[in-house]
Structure 1
Amino acid sequence: MNPFRSQGDAPPAYTPGPAQNLQPTMDTPRSTSTADDQYAFLKSFDTIFLIDDSGSMAGRSWRETGKALETITPICTERDADGIDIFFLNHPDSSLYKNVTTAGTVIEIFQTVRPGGATPTGQRLQKILKPYLQRYEKNPETTKPINVIVITDGEPSDDVEAPIIACAKKLDKLEAPAWQVGIQFFQVGNEAGAREALKQLDDGLREASGDDELRDIVDTVPFMGDDDAELTGHGVLKVVCGAIHRKLDRQTKGLHQKRPEA
């Protein structure tokens, strides 16, 4: 199924097909049975993917998103017992993709979507975060933490700071654990301006909020490093856990490396 259909075609609803036996494209450990599983922290979280399907994603960014999903979704689906949730910024059937338990199904869903439209990241995040916070306030003991992984190539077309700051303030007011909500911005494509905008979300929210004590719930990682260097295993670990694990959030070195020339 071709994700680059003509702009006149309407994206179809997802129809489940046979699950694909995908393997991560990076060298990432996947065992969930060993005591030293470095991704074991994810078992305590509900993982949510928010995928940018705006018009600017067509081409390189869309191909990189497919590769990124092949790399990280096996890690997440194997460690979320009730399955991950998948949302898109524009795709009309986005709300249907919940409790997905296999990486192959994630790729099938991705292949039914074509890029087109704006980048309403803030609006989409608000639709995820607001009902979650309402559930948490009512039942804090039984509401699992969430790990939101946003895959995007550019700067949002709306206000993304406001819903994130509101979420962080609400969590502070409720005295929620530091890891209750994490938002990872995983940048595909090579727009330098987009990288700076996403970095500002990671490092500048306290200043923007006027609250020096505001909790940090955001991390950012680019899919490709300088000179198209690829993610290392440690880089993949930061992608999936950096927004919910403060030590990983602070790490910036060793995330990418150039592949040796053939």
Structure 2
Amino acid sequence: MGARVDGEKWKELCNAVTEQMEAFTKPFVTPLIHELDGSEALIGSGAYIDFSDGKVGGATLLTCEHVARHQPQQHRPDGAKKLILVSGEVFSDTDCDASTTKISENTWQAQVLQSQRVVMSKFSTTHAPAKAELLFFHGLAGENAYVGFGGLDDIMTGYCSQEKADSGDDEIFEILWQPLEAQVTEGTSVDEKERLRYDDPKGFSGSLVWNTRFVELGADLSRWRPTDAVVTGLLRRWDTSTKTLLVWRVEHVLAWLASRPGWA
């Protein structure tokens, strides 16, 4: 561990980690949009992952079941100018609130642009962050999206937060969500600062949560890189009673992914 830092210096460090993590994870994430004529659009988040054990070929879109149940859906791979219909084999589990869509390699190559897939080696085997570690997620809050006529005007956002002390259980952990204490990073454009809202986290369901390992590696920007981060969970939902975001622990995510049928 490095020397303890407080106050303004810690804010500067958090700003730098957030911006670097946002750039690092940008190619992996996508908004998920369900829009029917005459109905309000439903918004969630997802991530492209890649299995290295040969069980599944091509890209796989991972999100929550309560997001994926609303079909048809559209996504927008990084670099795409418009929404694209999600197509592929869907496997969902209501008990675990998790879902995958197998995207064929041909389809992926036709839409890939700048998008990338999270390889399984980036998934931690267990959720075990250092004390007061910075945890990061990247997705789309519905309050920062306008959907209409097949288009999407949005601001995808990345957040650094921390695990709530003495919370969670064997299945989930809790991330602090404190809008009144949120700070916009220095790299945010003037236009985005004017438009950005961060009051309501609805829409982040399906986002991967990353253990940045920044604190673990000494809270030293000269030693830490965003590539040191590992996936530590799947963000499920906002709990209004605890004012926290509930995250399914990565060990359960991995077990569920491994248990799916061969066609999924």
TM-score by length of 2: 0.30
Q: Quick check: which one's helix share is greater?
A: 1
TM-score by length of 1: 0.30
Q: Which has the higher strand share?
A: 2
Task: Pick 1 or 2: higher relative contact order, CA cutoff 8 A, min separation 6.
Answer: 2
